[in-house]
Amino acid sequence: MRTLGNILWHFPFLGFLTALGTFLIGGLLVITVIGSPLGLGLIQLSKFLLAPFSNAMVDKTDLQADQNKAWKTYGIIVRILYFPIGLFLVVVNIFQIAGLFISIVGIPVALVLAKSIGTYFNPVNKVCVSKAVADELSSRKAKAEVDKAFATK
């Protein structure tokens, strides 16, 4: 079913053009060096957009516990400066989602794209992983929350 969703995303809805556009914007930001945290996140998002039914976007902090403090601080500063570009990309993405909702076949694709809106707003420290890794991370988070809830009682 995931393969069928990815095929529908690419051929009738030209999803590869969305992935290519996101990759090019990310590449331009990486070339500027100042926008590297954003560019790397957008490149990861373009990887997600190549197979949105087989992949998921997760925070890097979920995958690794420690992170360079200077890179983290720099990422926050760049995120603030990136807001107008992110807002533009989100508006474009919303128009694309609205267009996909017009057809019944496009509704599943629109729902997947709706999940990527958060990454357009905040691409810093996001990583594209397979659906199995994302499911495992969410089950570990849920188990930790359950353990914490029962430990306090």
Characterize the bridge pairing of strands 55-59 and 126-130: antiparallel
Q: Where are the domains of the chain?
A: 2-151
Read off the amino acid at residue 105.
Answer: V
Q: Which residues lie below 8 Å from residue 53, measured CB to CB, with a gap of 6+?
A: 1, 2, 3, 5, 6, 9, 108, 112, 131
Top pLDDT among 153 and 25 is at 25
How much is the pTM?
A: 0.82
pLDDT digit string (tens) for 84-140? 888 888 898 899 889 888 888 888 888 878 888 888 888 887 889 999 998 998 898
Top pLDDT among 62 and 20 is at 20
In this prediction, residue 79 has a pLDDT band, given cuts at 50, 70 and 90, of: confident
Does residue 22 have a pLDDT over 70? yes
Q: What phi, psi does 129 have (nearest 5°)?
A: -130, 165
